[in-house]
Structure 1
Amino acid sequence: MELKEEYIKLDQLLKACDIVGSGGHAKIIILDGEVSVNGEVVIQRGKKIRSGDTVKVGDYEIIVE
């Protein structure tokens, strides 16, 4: 995914990439520890994701440019 701003919040990224259908679903999978950023599990749904970060959710991998 290519960023148009300096960063995107993790829950917004998951919605933008159609990994989840709603912010509520994003919150649940993030708090359940199902999401990692750059190889580390993240439980902050407002985590700022920047260019160069890699987000993994299950079989999905998002490389942010």
Structure 2
Amino acid sequence: MQHVFTVNGMSCGHCVKAITQAIRALDPNATVQVDLDDRRVEVDSEQPRVALADAIRDEGYTVLD
């Protein structure tokens, strides 16, 4: 299932890595694409949307939707 999040606080490659690792800790088979300029994180995962958003928040980022 495809999930798209708007995320504030991302600015660099470290952010991309942190978010990707957090999501893959929940779902090792997830595909993650992060667009820093558009503040967008696209996730293809079978995990519930709320669990994915919580994983991003746990890394210190603000998930707007």
TM-score calculated relative to the size of structure 1: 0.31
Structure with the larger RCO, 1 or 2 (CA within 8 Å, 6+ apart): 2
TM-score calculated relative to the size of structure 2: 0.31
Give 1 or 2: higher helix fraction: 2
